[in-house]
């Protein structure tokens, strides 16, 4: 099956370090997702036989289409890792050319590798020779605003044999501070003969449908949108869901059950599950429904839920540490969330993401 056929019209779950863990991907599948990508796996660490890295290649039995994203800058090493991913059940392998985190860019990975189109061409060529599944790349627009190279980079990857290109519509320097540039994404889609998948600022179903119709992309990808509201995938077929706090809680409880099934319901497994559960809770609290006046909250503005419909909805909207810890522990211990900690020092004003959250708190969208 061609890569175009695999992804056509889909909203893809992005490769996110910590975010696209196996239990979360399973939750998204249950809510309607059909194309999902692993957390970023580093080819060098796979070569070193690190068990924690091998775990990132694990495919859930119910994943309809599963991609593995790899980070590396040595063609032979990436080819070896791609073959390994294919042997573990990957339907496609993706090259990370956009991770903005200093730890990786200092090693010449992610966005740093995206500055070397000719090297990217060689890496893709070598990977293509090693596997029979599709090979794709995920890029940003460039290193910074005055160093945009997205067309050159995308074309180099396609010349190397890439079957598709994912485009995150921001530069490495921008991280998540500014809205995604969908004009640039559309430019890539118009320039390439392979499927282009656009990524950036998709939170509500009408935004997904409008971008798919106007960008020329074969499919779209979501990162923060899925983390904030994993039921976004269900909305794509059934329309906007004015979800209640109780319905949200059932989704969060389901993630908790999947996490304990994956990591184990013993002391070690619960410790591991709690780490991820607390991290996800930091995104779940950001959900704000359509406003009463009819307008939609923006991905780039941290809006506040002014008029919660219930005490539970008020609790789930709190972003203070005490509330997030309480929600995490109640979910992990099947509590009823009926005795939340008092509100104290909770930020109640609307600000941009930059004002409310550090870069380290954002999902490391690996590409």
Q: Catalogue the active-site residues.
A: 99
For residue 69, the cross-strand partners are 94
Estimate the crossing angle of helix 182-191 against helix 205-215, to 10 degrees: 40
Handedness of CA 340, 343, 347, 348 (dihedral sign): positive
Sign of the Cα torsion 71, 74, 77, 83 reads positive
The residue among 101, 82, 102 whose CA lies nearest residue 92 is: 82
Q: Confirm if 221 and 189 have CB atoms less than 8 A apart.
A: no
Place of tokens 């976004």: 232
Backbone region of residue 111 per phi and psi (left: phi > 0; alpha: psi in -120 to 50; beta: other values): alpha
CA–CA distances in Å: residue 313 to residues 93, 134, 166, 284, 304? 40, 43, 35, 11, 12
Q: How far apart are CA 281 and CA 274, in angstroms?
A: 10
Rounded (10°) CA dihedral 45, 55, 21, 60: 140
Encoded tokens for 209: 């449908």
Residue pair 330/338 in contact (Cβ under 8 Å)? The answer is no
Q: How many CB atoms lie within 10 A of CB 106?
A: 10
361 closest CA partner among 176, 209, 160: 176
Transcribe 189-234 into DSSP letters. Answer: HHH-SS-EEEES---SHHHHHHHHHHH--SEEEESHHHHH-TTHHH
Please state, in angstroms and rounded to a whole number, the distance separating the CA atoms of residues 345 and 45. 42
| Residues 324, 361: Cα–Cα separation, whole Å | 14
Q: Which of 158, 360, 359 has the alpha carbon at shortest distance from 139?
A: 158
């Amino acid at each position: 099956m061609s890569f175009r056929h695999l992804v056509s019209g889909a909203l893809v779950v992005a490769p996110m370090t910590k975010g696209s863990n196996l239990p979360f991907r399973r939750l998204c599948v249950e809510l309607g997702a059909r194309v999902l990508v692993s957390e970023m796996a580093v080819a060098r660490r796979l070569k070193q036989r690190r068990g924690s890295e091998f775990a990132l290649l694990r495919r859930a039995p119910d994943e309809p289409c599963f991609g593995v994203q790899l980070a590396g800058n040595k063609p032979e090493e990436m080819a070896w890792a791609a073959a390994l991913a294919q042997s573990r059940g990957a339907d496609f392998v993706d090259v990370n050319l956009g991770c903005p985190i200093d730890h990786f860019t200092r090693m010449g990975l992610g966005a740093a590798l995206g500055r070397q189109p000719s090297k990217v061409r060689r890496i893709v060529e070598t990977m293509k020779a090693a596997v029979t599944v599709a090979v794709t790349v995920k890029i940003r627009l460039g290193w910074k605003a005055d160093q945009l190279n997205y067309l050159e980079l995308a074309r180099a990857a396609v010349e190397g044999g890439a079957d598709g290109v994912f485009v995150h519509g921001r530069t490495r320097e921008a991280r998540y501070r500014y809205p995604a540039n969908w004009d640039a994404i559309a430019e890539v889609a118009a320039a390439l003969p392979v499927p282009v998948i656009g990524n950036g600022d998709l939170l509500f179903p009408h935004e997904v449908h409008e971008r798919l119709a106007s960008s020329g992309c074969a499919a779209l990808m979501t990162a923060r949108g899925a983390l904030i509201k994993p039921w976004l995938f269900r909305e794509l077929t059934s329309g906007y869901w004015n979800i209640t706090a109780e319905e949200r809680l059932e989704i969060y409880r389901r993630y908790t059950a999947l996490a304990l099934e994956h990591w184990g319901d013993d002391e070690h497994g619960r410790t591991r599950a709690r780490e991820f559960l607390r991290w996800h809770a930091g995104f779940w609290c950001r959900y704000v429904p359509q406003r009463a006046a009819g307008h939609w909250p923006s991905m780039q503005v941290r809006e506040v839920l002014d008029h919660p419909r219930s005490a539970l909805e008020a609790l789930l909207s709190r972003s203070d540490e005490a509330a997030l810890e309480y929600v995490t522990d109640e979910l992990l211990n099947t509590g009823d969330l009926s005795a939340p900690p008092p509100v104290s020092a909770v930020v109640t004003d609307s600000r941009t993401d930059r004002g409310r959250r550090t870069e380290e708190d954002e999902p490391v969208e690996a590409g």
